[in-house]
Structure 1
Amino acid sequence: MDNITLENYKISLNYIKKLRTHFAKTYPIDYKVGQVYQGNVDYSYFPFTPTSLKSQKLKIVIIFDHIKMLFEICLAGQNRQIQKEYWQMFKDSDWNKYHIPATLEGFSIVEHILIEHPNFNDFDALNRHIETETMTFIKDIVNVLDV
């Protein structure tokens, strides 16, 4: 935790937990909302996946990078085989709406920055921004996959 203060870590982690609860309450039917994972002090994340993608063994993950102070979202596979299959499909296509990593070092198939240096003091505005960007990303991914 060299690059971040304990106080900032606690504030951002508390927000992520509230954001997860907001998504779980707002989208209880067509989405599966997982728990917040905080196994690494550099980032925390939770899955927020439409059932149509879950049936394809895919998931959407909302991530907060505590070092870079940004929220991002990504499409990920339930396992390495699924991840590689879909990553290759996106990599071989001419679709370029969002960033496709050059390699499969992480778990992202497709990724997008939701917001950099978020203002945690305005919970409602931050929620609206992240929710709008998240739903747009999901809609775009679902449309391109035609699920």
Structure 2
Amino acid sequence: MPDKSLNDRITAYKQAFASGEIQATYQSLVGIVQGLRTEFSKKYKGEFSVASVMHGYIDFTYFYLQNAYLKSHQLKLAIVFNHQHARFELWLLGQTKEVQIRYWEKLKGIPWVNPTVMPEYSVFDVTLLAKPDFDDIAGLSAAVHTAFGALSAQIFSTLQAYG
């Protein structure tokens, strides 16, 4: 089935925005990510530098974390809110596509790395929180921090082992 033209999709686009729910929900979700970024910045001060919140198109909202080890290897971690799946993810990113490919090749045997297809934007992406409770921000935040602490420790030990 051929794609509809942009003109053919505009009616549905306008209808989706008409109620204002999409805009309000998007802003609330971005606010949650901004709150997490502030918490990470305070909690990991001196351990990680934490970048500002970035927006993908309408698909991802994220912030980067980097420490001396990651920087020396041209890598970054990103806490990502995936809007399509309404979940939080942790991505390992390379500063360039070549760095990402090199690390993807090295890490193919690791459980969180898809050995057949490299993600478009990262070496790998792992779900941190699959079903966030957006009505319990404190619990959501605690769950993201706990998952990040456990997973980042595994990632660093794996990176050091695989060089």
TM-score > 0.5 by shorter chain: yes
Partner amino acid for 1:18? Answer: G
Aligned CA RMSD, in angstroms, stands at: 2.0
Distance 1:99 1:89 in 2: 10
For residues 35-50 of structure 1, the aligned pairs below 5 Å read 35-50=52-67
- How much has 1:65 moved relative to structure 2? 1.2
Distance 2:23 2:123 in 1: 31
- How much has 1:6 moved relative to structure 2? 1.7
For the residue of structure 2 that corresponds to 1:125, the secondary structure is helix
Distance 2:119 2:82 in 1: 16
- How much has 1:106 moved relative to structure 2? 1.3
For 2:100, which of 80, 83, 88 is the aligned residue? 83
Matched, 1:128 2:142: yes
Q: Which segments of 5 or more consecutive residues in structure 1 lack a partner in the other structure?
A: none
Check the 8 A contact 2:107/2:113 in 1, yes or no. Answer: no
Distance 1:30 1:131 in 2: 15
Matched, 1:8 2:31: no
Distance 1:113 1:100 in 2: 13
Check the 8 A contact 2:104/2:113 in 1, yes or no. Answer: no
For the residue of structure 1 that corresponds to 2:77, the secondary structure is strand
Matched, 1:71 2:85: no
Bigger drift between 1-10 and 49-58 goes to 1-10
Tell me the percent identity.
28
For the residue of structure 1 that corresponds to 2:90, the secondary structure is strand
- How much has 1:24 moved relative to structure 2? 0.4
Number of residue equivalences: 144
Q: Which segments of 5 or more consecutive residues in structure 2 lack a partner in the other structure?
A: 1-12
Distance 1:135 1:12 in 2: 22
Tell which structure's C-alpha radius of gyration is larger.
2
Name whichever structure is richer in strand by fraction. Answer: 1
Name whichever structure is richer in helix by fraction. Answer: 2
**Large movers: runs of 4+ above 2 Å:** 1-4, 99-105
- How much has 1:53 moved relative to structure 2? 1.4
